[in-house]
Amino acid sequence: MRIKLLFLTCFFPLSLWGQFGVSLSYDQQSATNWENLISATDTLGALDQFGTVSLYYWWRPENLRIEVLPEIAYRRNLGKVPDQPLAARTHSIDFNLNTDIYIFDLEGDCDCPTFSKDGNFFTKGFFLELSPGVSYRTYQIESTFQGELQGNLMKSNGFLGKLGVGAGLDIGISDLFTITPWFKNEWHLGANWENLGTWARPPYPELEKSTLSYMRFGLRLGFRPDYKPFR
């Protein structure tokens, strides 16, 4: 009985998890109005490079290679603090509903991970990704001194809708682990950095609303404890 209880304690949670994993990415931000606004000031510099870390879960319908990966992510600035008295910074918590479509193997019998089945490596592993989601973003203006961030001078928050389109390729390490390099272009809808325009001379409040997008390059590590050999 003790052995059975130990077995259930260790392995039952894995059957609930299915496939899950972690993803890391480097993101290059593009926000034309904000960039123009910041360049119109003498005191404000921006950090436009970002890193994102996320956790995801995997699900797919039977007999169809369309996979759904709900994901929660945290994005923040990378790089050196601007050589200015003030730094404009943003960070966010995102929820993404990644949908991966294996266009060359849409009706395949793959039980995933893809490399455990016969067939061409590229056609089994390549996918296109559609990624709708929502982002809770924090906007900050911080003082700087000798390359270090100091106190927060201004802060605001807001929700944004978002949509990403990209592609990736599953690469098998073993039947338990899969790594997936991917890239994605991501558009955020409704970006509004309140009071950013007050730092320009003269003020430009009309530039506080901006188109906002990211070119993202990332790597996912998938873990599949529910794959049949490990049950």
Which residue segments constitute the domains of the chain, with CATH numbers given?
A: 18-230 (2.40.160.20)
Per-residue pLDDT reduced to its tens digit, 60-93: 777 788 899 999 999 999 888 778 888 888 999 9
Containing 190, the helix (H) or strand (E) segment is none
Residue 5 has pLDDT above 70, yes or no: no
pLDDT of residue 50: 95
pLDDT at 41: 84
DSSP-derived secondary structure for 95-134: EEEEEEE-TTSTT----SSGGGSSS-HHHHHEEEEEEEEE
Q: What is the pLDDT of residues 6-56, one digit of tens each?
A: 333 343 343 444 578 999 999 999 999 999 888 888 788 888 899 999 999
Contact 148, 210 (CB under 8 A): no
SS3 assignment, position 8: helix
**Residue in 58, 190, 86 with CA at minimum distance from that of residue 148:** 86
Coil, helix or strand at residue 62: coil
pLDDT of 14 reads: 38
Contact of 91 with 127, CB cutoff 8 Å: no
Q: pLDDT tens digits, residue range 176-221?
A: 888 999 999 999 999 999 888 888 777 888 889 999 999 999 999 9
Average pLDDT rounded to a whole number, residues 137-166 = 87
